A and B are shown apart, each in its own frame.
Chain A
């Protein structure tokens, strides 16, 4: 799989609207345009499973594999009780569901700052950091999450 495109800060700042997806208490920020739909976890069919997924949701005649990631983006085989909403992500090339604690649109675009060089490799899914009220949002996108899921599912399948 090719490496996901790494956007510059200037490119990221052109994103008009970001959504905050809370995973295990950590706020992850994605372009709102990549959120196709929000679904109830009750609609997840646990019998339809992609590798390392927790099930799938049917939408538009397609099955969307659903994954549960920790706040630090580790695969969780069992969703915690706090996960109450499923965001279906679609960037035209990658398509999957992510079980979240909470999903909300940010009213204003936050100030984006670079991830310090000593804190992450160029392959990090974190493209930028965004100070929010009392917390720090990590900016990523569907392409980076899909690449990470590919690595995680491949690694988990190898054991």
Chain B
């Protein structure tokens, strides 16, 4: 996220549930959907059981809190927000997905000096995150969106 000149950039801080926070780059979060209409897909994994129809696209609605805690979250129904994210699995081919959120994302300036180790718990962070930074003494993992949305969690 940092540029060579400034070594500082902007991130979106995401509330995955009431305890878990993560971040994506400024240009990775492109839209916020309040009270999204979620359509159920049978045979799908417990952490991604629904899709959202958005701009003629079907976006997988990823519940990363469920994946990190290892079970479907009973509070999922209360999360009324979905953040639409863009990622680039290959050069020149932007793709989209949605993350279920429990609160409105906030912006933060992040510099390289804030780099830190991933949280030890939940252990799944090491699979989801490409790096991590400290925000007011709390480690905030930065999500690996191409891995998350291209089947890396299956």
Contact = CB atoms under 8 A, between A and B. Distances in A.
Contact of B42 (A72, A113, A114, A117): A72
A118 B58 contact: no
B42 A138 contact: yes
B130 interface: no
B60 A73 contact: no
Interface string A105-131: 000000001111111110011100101
Nearest to A113: B58
B44 A119 contact: yes
- Interface footprint category on B: 20 to 34
B43 interface: yes
B30 interface: no
Majority secondary structure of chain A interface residues (helix, strand, loop or mixed)? loop
B108 interface: no
Contact of B58 (A72, A73, A129, A135): A129
Contacts of A79: none
Q: Which of B41, B62, B148 has the most CB of A within 10 A?
A: B41
Contacts of B2: none
A63 interface: no
A115 B151 contact: no
A44 B11 CA distance: 61
Contacts of A150: none
A120 B57 CA distance: 17
Listed residue (A71, A72, A119) with the most chain B CB atoms within 10 angstroms of its CB? A119
Contacts of B60: 116, 118-119
Contact of A115 (B39, B41, B62): B41
A147 B42 CA distance: 17
A55 to B, nearest CB: 25
B52 to A, nearest CB: 11
Interface of B: 39-45, 48, 51, 53, 57-60, 62, 97, 148-154
24 contacts: A26-B42, A72-B42, A113-B58, A115-B41, A116-B51, A116-B58, A116-B60, A116-B149, A118-B45, A118-B48, A118-B60, A118-B148, A118-B152, A118-B154, A119-B44, A119-B45, A120-B43, A120-B44, A120-B154, A131-B39, A131-B53, A135-B39, A136-B39, A136-B51
